[in-house]
Structures are given as C-alpha cells and as structure tokens.
Structure 1
Amino acid sequence: MTTRRIVTIFGATGQQGSSVVDALLSEGIFVPRAVTRSAGSTAAKALAARGCEVVEADACDKEAVRRAVDGAECVFGVTVPFTSAPELEQGLNMVDASKEAGVKFFVFSSLVSAAEVSNGKYTKCVHYEDKADIEKHLKASGISNAILMTGFFLENLVTIMPLKQTETGYHIEAPAVINKTNLMSWIGKELGSAVAALMRNYTDKLEEINGQNFILGGSRPTLEEVAAEIGKALGKPTTIKQCARLGFPALDEMFDFVAEFDVYAGKAVPDPRLLAYGAQVGTVAEFAEAVIKPYLEKQTQ
C-alpha cells in the first residue's frame, strides 16, 4: 500500500497558505492537510471539497498544533502578526510540535531582523523580529528546513492599497517610499510554487536546501516603476503617491527601515536556486493581467 505523503499547511485559508494548497493540489504529489481556526467555515469546507484534509487548530494551542502535524512528512509555517495570538508563540508551537511529531522538512515564511540589520536603529518592527526569532528557533531545532524571504506583496494592490479609478486612468496611494527598490513577491503564483518545489526536491537535494534562505520574488523595481508597468498593462496611465504615515509604530517604522536598508542588494532576483528546482516567478505585467484586470472588472459590475 502506498503511504500518503502529508503536508500540514498553517494558515491554509489565508493568502500564503492558500497559495501552497493550490500548488500542492495541482501537483498531486502530496496530500495537503489544511489547518484552520474554523473547520466549519465556508473557506474550510471548500478546501475539503477540493481534496484537502481539514483540521482545526489555534496556533497558540500547542496540543491542537501537535495533532495538526501528527503524521505529516512536511510542514509549511506562516505566522500572523498584530492579533491577540502572539506571533512568536504561534511559530514556536509549530516548530516544537513538528519536532515532537518527527516532521522531516519544514518551510517557513520569514523576514529579516530589522533590529539586527539596522544595528539597533529600528526596533519596533515586531512582526520582523518575531519571524526572525522563529526562524532561528527552527534552524536550531534539528528539523530539516528552508526559509522563504518575502518582499512587498503585489496582492497589496488589490487589498490594502487598491487602485482607484480616476478620470483618465488609475491612482495608487502607498504608505511605503515609492522611489526605492523593493523585492516584489506575487504570493498567489510564486509562494506556493516555491514551497512545492522545495518539498518536491528536499529528499534528493537536502544538503543544498537544508538551512538555506531563499528569496521569493521575480524583480526589484521601485513602486513608481511598478505603477508604470501596471499602466502599460491596463492601457491607461497609473499614478502613485506616497500617503501619510499610518500612525501604527510597527508599520511606520517598517517603511522607514525598508527605505533605508536594501537587504536584498547584490542578490540575484529571482533566486536562481528556486528556478533550478522548478519554481515559477511572474512579472508585474503578468500580475496586472491575471489579478488586477479581473479585480477592476468586478469593481465596475
């Protein structure tokens, strides 16, 4: 009898986790075990209908997390900041439970430590610090692992800073500095593809994958250049302007940090190692065609 190869996916109904679910279902090599806080939700039921195992677990309930990873070969971990559940606790529970369960390979979505990179200048980016601490804990755990480093989510352009229609085209209000280069990550296309590629290859290429940080993204343009590319794809001028600070210290300091420190300077983007493993990347123009155009069409219906 063939043994099922199970991958536990935390945050399976969220942006990152759903990308992993889609990629694994498309490949058919692994069985996705989708972790959700509510197995009875519409989103969770939809995952079950597509062939996922669905388990209910709060990431701050270590026993529930342990049940979620029991019997899994691989785990994808992503933690959610700025909620009542401490992000660091979420991640430590995932790692510790995975170690106890004998998980063979763990892929974690992470960020750099702003405090370390800036030599203590930026210390309020708690979501950066928590992810960096979880990453360190994972690497010290003894579980074979790979880390995916994300940048600016292109999906932000249809969620938290969506395009607004003007008389002649479209306009974007962005809290980030718009004339600094930034890693662009198309989560829906690229993250799931990268996770699937790493999990597909980790048994044969463990020595070159284990403990490595991989850059997730297809390019490093400025937001001004992103807006110009979107305008070309849409056939209408698209402008962008930096808006006022948000008044939320962790995010305001994050924008200052990424404006001052280019943590991916000099590094190849897209990551050639991920491409060699078969991961896919996309361009801003392709994102505009696949995601922004349908989004704008829905707004006019």
Structure 2
Amino acid sequence: MSKTIVIIGATGNQGSSLACVFLQKPGFKVRGVTRDPAKPASQALKKQGVELVQGDVDDVESLKIALRGADIVFGNTAYSNESVKPGTQHKCYELELQQGKNVADAVATVADGLEMFIWSSLSAATKWSKGRYDKVYHFDSKAHVVDYINEQLPAVAQKMSILQMGLFVNNWRWGAPSVPWHKQPDGSMKLRIPGQGDTPVPFVVPDDAGHYVYALTQLPIGTNLLAFGGMVTWTEYVKLWTKATGVPAVLEKVTIEEHAKLVPGGFGEEMAHMYGYMVDFGYHGGDPSVTFTSDVSCHSMFQEHVESPADEVALQIKIDIPITTLEEYLAQEDWSPLLKGEAIDRT
C-alpha cells in the first residue's frame, strides 16, 4: 500500500526538492500544498505527478483540509522578505512563529492516523547562546515552534522528527549582508565574518533537502537531523573557495557592530548575530539532541567532527544519502556575478 506524503510549501526550495525525490520513490504518493495551485511553479509540479491542493500557512482551516489522509507531513515556513526593512525583524519573527503554530495545529487534527511529522527547523540561538545572540530571529522563530509542539501538542510531538538544514551554500547571491564577500582593489577577495570563534559550519545545497527528508523517514521518529554536505571552518571554506575559483581570498574577523552597518535598521544586525552565533557556539548551538548527517550516512564524503549525537539508535543505521558535497558545489557554481560585482539574483 502506498503512503501519502504531504508537503507544505511545495514550490519552495525545500518543498520542490522533496517533491522531486519522493516522486521517484516507490510506494509514495506526493501531495503538494501551495497558496496558488495555478501559478507556473505549481503547475510544473502537477505535470510531474504531484497532487496539488490549496493551502495557506496563514489559514489553519485550509491546512486541515489539505492534510486529510496524510501518512507523512513535511512542515516548512519561509521567513518573510520584509525582514530587510528597518524595524521589521521582531514582527517577522512573530509572523513565522504563528505560521508554524498554524501548521502544528493542523497536523494535530490528523495526528492519530499520521505516521510521521517532519518539521523544518533551526536551532534556538537565544537559548543555546545564553542570551548573547538574541537577534537571530529566523532561527528562533522555527525553534520556538518545536517548543510549542512539545508543550502544547503531545500527540504531534510523539510523531515529530526535525530537519535542520545547514547554511545554504548559495546565500552569497543575496549580497554582502548575507555572505560578506568584499572585492579588493587588486582583484582578490576578502570574506569578513563576525564573531571570534572558529567552530565548523555545516554547509548545505538547498536542492538536496529531499534526500535528507527521505533519510529521516528511515530513521527513528524523534531524530533531530542536522543536514550538510560539508562541515568546515570559515578559514577552511575560504581555502576551498580559492582552490575552486583560482581567485586569491582571505578571511578577516570583524565585530558584530561592523557587520550590522551593512544594512542599518535591524537586518544587518540579525545577520551579524547569526554569524557570531554559529562561529562562537556552533550552527546547532551544541544542542545534544542533534544527530549529524555524517553519523547516519554511509557516504565517505564527510569530514570528522568533535561532537557526538545523542541518539545511539540512529548511529546503528547507515543510509546512502546522495547529496552534493561542498567541494562539488564550489567547483560547479558560476561565481562571475560575485567577481564582477554584478547585480545579485534575488529570485
């Protein structure tokens, strides 16, 4: 008997990857939830074989209808682009938190017949940094949905696994506030990163999300998976980038205040806190519940890391996860817009 996986946000980076992967897996039917089933991205999924239903993360009732008959639900919300505007950061946090709660409340109505709920989350930066980095709103908004589920929706919590996608490798396309590359007069590049630590950062290709989620369906419920195709320090990243591009580059540590000035009004400060958090405390903050992709993948692509996941059962399971390594991405990417200082693609 086939299983139905329902993907909330089916046309997004993660959702579209899930649709492509699960359409190729025997025994799965794919249902995509989208605000507008008529838009081109939705219709493209329909042509591939996805069952499309209308649903909006701002409308709980529409989600309840969309989730009927689901065996597996993937929940995902997108942090608002309004966050780049001055003074909007906390408002965007509250909006995404409420949208996540809406998803969870809808899942609660089908929890009895549900096999698994997978929530796309990030670590609780304020909590794990003990308040030092309290403005990483796009991390906390997702993490606080997990808190809500654990505290208010026990039936959902019992079916929940968590996906934490590492730092997207293509964030550089959004310009210096997102990934602070700076071109030097001699043509070389300088990457200016806030924070004083040197903790390895997990880098991930967004298009690989479906492979990580499929892996989660084969791991014990309750797994909190940190997904990445490479775990390196920023110093190592710059060396790999130079090797891939042939362009000399160096790393320079800067202060939170310096980075915040790149976009006055809050967004620059939020990005600065994110970098400070990940290099001082780790992208996952040292959360002991996290399981690393490298601990459950039988791929030999991963470098060693110092932490160990808490889930001993997960350690006994090895899965082939066909994902893109950091080195592969760096070699395949077209870096010419960055090197030429051309307009950034924000699509």
Moved more, 97-106 or 245-254: 245-254
What residue is the counterpart of 2:231 in the other structure?
Answer: 220
Please state if 1:75 is matched with 2:73. yes
Give the whole-Å Cα distance in 1 for the aligned partners of 2:232 and 2:67.
38
Displacement after TM superposition at 1:71 (Å): 1.4
What residue is the counterpart of 1:257 in the other structure?
Answer: 277
Please state if 1:95 is matched with 2:104. yes
- AA aligned to 1:142 is A
Structure 1 unaligned residues grouped into runs of 5+: 203-208
Give the whole-Å Cα distance in 1 for the aligned partners of 2:273 and 2:14.
23
Give the whole-Å Cα distance in 2 for the aligned partners of 1:47 and 1:170.
42
Deviation track 1:199-244 (CA, whole Å, cap 9, x = no partner) reads 2x25xxxxxx222211211332122322321222234434556673
**Could you tell me whether the CA contact under 8 Å between 1:87 and 1:130 is conserved in 2?**
yes
Give the whole-Å Cα distance in 2 for the aligned partners of 1:16 and 1:169.
35
Root-mean-square deviation over aligned CA pairs: 3.4
- AA aligned to 1:152 is L
**Closer, same or farther in 2 for the Cα pair 1:289/1:23, shift >3 Å?**
farther
Please state if 1:273 is matched with 2:296. yes
* Secondary structure of the structure 2 residue equivalent to 1:58: coil
Matches within 5 A, 1:112-261: 112-139=123-150, 140-143=153-156, 144-160=159-175, 171=189, 176-177=194-195, 180-199=198-217, 201=218, 209-239=220-250, 244-245=259-260, 246-247=263-264, 248=266, 249-261=269-281
* Secondary structure of the structure 2 residue equivalent to 1:86: helix
**Could you tell me whether the CA contact under 8 Å between 1:169 and 1:238 is conserved in 2?**
no
* TM-score, normalising length: structure 1: 0.81
- AA aligned to 2:204 is W
Give the whole-Å Cα distance in 1 for the aligned partners of 2:270 and 2:75.
22
Displacement after TM superposition at 1:148 (Å): 1.6
Identical amino acids, percent of aligned pairs: 26
Give the whole-Å Cα distance in 1 for the aligned partners of 2:187 and 2:39.
38
**Closer, same or farther in 2 for the Cα pair 1:123/1:157, shift >3 Å?**
closer
**Closer, same or farther in 2 for the Cα pair 1:231/1:110, shift >3 Å?**
same
Give the whole-Å Cα distance in 1 for the aligned partners of 2:109 and 2:65.
11
**Closer, same or farther in 2 for the Cα pair 1:252/1:282, shift >3 Å?**
same
Give the whole-Å Cα distance in 2 for the aligned partners of 1:47 and 1:164.
38
